[in-house]
């Protein structure tokens, strides 16, 4: 029996051109679902500056009916364009990403927030990203990099990330920052790095192994110690543990490498102002990951802003906690990036 994914792809290929022709739009158009009879489907239209709208498409009559707008209160003309970029990493690998520039400012000497994605075997996509818009609206260019290991670029690109946490994967992020500096887009004195989960690890690795590159950093539920991270894999990940050893590293066979690439063992190199946010009940990145890095830095007399929420897991989902985090994020970036370092 033909599986539903294959049917959906065939249906999508057959139906989507008709829908796109009717909409006459430059925005992204895709089918989100369809009925069993394949006679009607739900269509989503969206872009980098709009959360878009939903339509009902009737196949027999070839008609579209508008159902609802999403985030209609957001005005696309006030939001920022997300543009694809590409650069060549130091070892010759082609790296793709996205750059969102703030409105009304020339693309030169801008404060930049580098936002490595989580996963790490996931990817950033073109489209509406509320976090990116939040940052760009406040005057920051936002750099998203699909470093090696990101999905959608082929098996070899994905496999190139195996056992490369803190190594070539981190080099890709560093090389992306250097690309913006060389292009004159980024002010080298005003670059921040902010990421969640693996992106949090990349944030800590960035300020540990390239301590002069970033003016400030925000680690959101990030890994600091690869040994304890692998030891606290949640039960629903246990079937994947051997695969994690192959892709991240084995705590015994790769001990020296994991020691070298775990930021918590190299806190003497960290001098960048740091904000850390963590859910106390996080099953994926245990709170011990954040506690370790914060305690190690505080033991050296370094002030770290630390937000812990007892009612949160892997990321903040309660509205009041999200408000508090983004208010803290905004104030933190405002303090460290708004003016060149020499003028602070």
Token look-up 């500056």 returns 49
Whether residue 315 is contained in a domain is answered as: yes
Q: CB neighbours (10 Å) of residue 239? A: 8
Q: What is the phi-psi region of residue 103: left when phi exceeds 0, alpha when psi lies from -120 to 50, beta otherwise?
A: beta
Whether residue 27 is contained in a domain is answered as: yes
The pLDDT value recorded for residue 160 is 98
Structure tokens at 22: 């009717």
Token look-up 């739009």 returns 25
pLDDT band at 341 (very low <50, low <70, confident <90, very high): very low
In tens, the pLDDT along 9-68 reads 666 677 888 888 888 787 889 888 888 888 999 999 999 999 999 999 999 999 999 999
Mark whether 84 and 41 lie in a shared domain. Answer: no
What global pTM score does this model have?
A: 0.91
Domain boundary among 44, 69, 94: 69
Mean pLDDT of 99-116: 96
Domain boundary among 69, 104, 125: 69
Mean pLDDT of 98-108: 95
Whether residue 204 is contained in a domain is answered as: yes
Determine the Cα–Cα distance for residues 147 and 122; give it in Å rounded to an integer: 10
Structure tokens at 13: 């290929």
**Lowest-confidence segment of 6-10, 217-221, 269-273, 314-318 by average pLDDT:** 6-10
Q: CB neighbours (10 Å) of residue 115? A: 28
Whether residue 75 is contained in a domain is answered as: no
Which secondary structure element, helix H or strand E, spans residue 259, and what is its range?
helix 255-261
Residue pair 62/53 in contact (Cβ under 8 Å)? The answer is: no
The pLDDT value recorded for residue 342 is 43
Total domain count for the chain? 2
Mark whether 297 and 270 lie in a shared domain. Answer: yes
In this predicted structure, the answer to whether residue 3 has a pLDDT above a threshold of 80 is no
Determine the Cα–Cα distance for residues 326 and 317; give it in Å rounded to an integer: 12
Residue pair 102/141 in contact (Cβ under 8 Å)? The answer is: yes
Mark whether 87 and 202 lie in a shared domain. Answer: yes
Determine the Cα–Cα distance for residues 59 and 51; give it in Å rounded to an integer: 25
The pLDDT value recorded for residue 34 is 86
In this predicted structure, the answer to whether residue 187 has a pLDDT above a threshold of 80 is yes
In this predicted structure, the answer to whether residue 1 has a pLDDT above a threshold of 70 is no
The pLDDT value recorded for residue 233 is 83
What positions carry a catalytic annotation? 197, 282, 314
Determine the Cα–Cα distance for residues 320 and 324; give it in Å rounded to an integer: 6
Report the percent of the chain where pLDDT is more than 70. Answer: 95
Query: What CATH number should be reported for the domain holding residue 279?
Result: 3.40.50.1820
In this predicted structure, the answer to whether residue 116 has a pLDDT above a threshold of 50 is yes
Whether residue 134 is contained in a domain is answered as: yes
SS3 38: coil
Whether residue 74 is contained in a domain is answered as: no
Q: CB neighbours (10 Å) of residue 147? A: 32
Mark whether 64 and 106 lie in a shared domain. Answer: no
**Lowest-confidence segment of 61-65, 170-174, 251-255 by average pLDDT:** 61-65
Determine the Cα–Cα distance for residues 343 and 152; give it in Å rounded to an integer: 42
Domain around 55:
4-69
Which secondary structure element, helix H or strand E, spans residue 136, and what is its range?
helix 130-137
Q: Which of 114, 176, 97 is nearest to 333 (CA)?
A: 114
Q: Which of 281, 330, 289 is nearest to 201 (CA)?
A: 289
Structure tokens at 327: 């208010």
């Amino acid at each position: 029996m033909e599986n539903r994914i294959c049917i959906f792809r065939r249906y999508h290929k057959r139906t989507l051109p008709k829908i796109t022709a009717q909409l006459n739009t430059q925005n992204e158009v895709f089918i989100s679902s369809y009925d069993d009879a394949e006679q009607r489907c739900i269509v989503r239209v969206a872009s980098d500056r709009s959360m878009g709208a939903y339509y009902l498409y009737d196949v027999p009559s070839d008609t579209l009916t508008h159902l609802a707008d999403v985030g209609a209160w957001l005005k696309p003309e006030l939001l920022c364009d997300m543009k694809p970029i590409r650069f060549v990493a130091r070892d010759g690998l082609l790296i793709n990403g996205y750059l969102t520039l703030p409105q009304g400012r020339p693309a030169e000497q801008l404060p930049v927030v580098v936002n490595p994605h989580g996963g790490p075997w996931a990817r950033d996509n073109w489209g509406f990203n509320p976090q990116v818009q939040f940052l760009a609206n406040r005057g920051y260019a936002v750099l998203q990099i699909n470093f090696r290991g990101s999905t959608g670029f082929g098996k070899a690109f994905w496999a190139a990330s195996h056992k490369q946490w803190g190594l070539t994967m981190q080099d890709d992020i560093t090389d992306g920052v250097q690309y913006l500096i060389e292009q004159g887009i980024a002010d080298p004195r005003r670059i921040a790095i902010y990421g969640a989960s693996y992106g949090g690890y990349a944030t800590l690795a960035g300020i540990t192994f390239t301590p002069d590159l970033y003016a400030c950093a925000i680690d959101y539920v990030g890994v600091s110690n690869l040994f304890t991270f692998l030891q606290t894999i949640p039960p629903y990940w246990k079937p994947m543990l051997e695969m994690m050893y192959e892709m991240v590293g084995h705590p015994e066979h790769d001990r020296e490498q994991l020691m070298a690439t775990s930021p918590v063992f190299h806190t003497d190199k960290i001098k960048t102002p740091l904000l850390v946010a963590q859910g106390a009940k996080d099953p994926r990145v245990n709170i011990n990951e954040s506690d370790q890095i914060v305690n190690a830095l505080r033991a050296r007399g370094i002030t770290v802003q630390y937000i812990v929420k007892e009612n949160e897991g892997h990321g903040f989902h309660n509205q009041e906690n999200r408000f508090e985090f983004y208010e803290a994020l905004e104030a933190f970036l405002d303090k460290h990036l708004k003016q060149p370092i020499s003028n602070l």
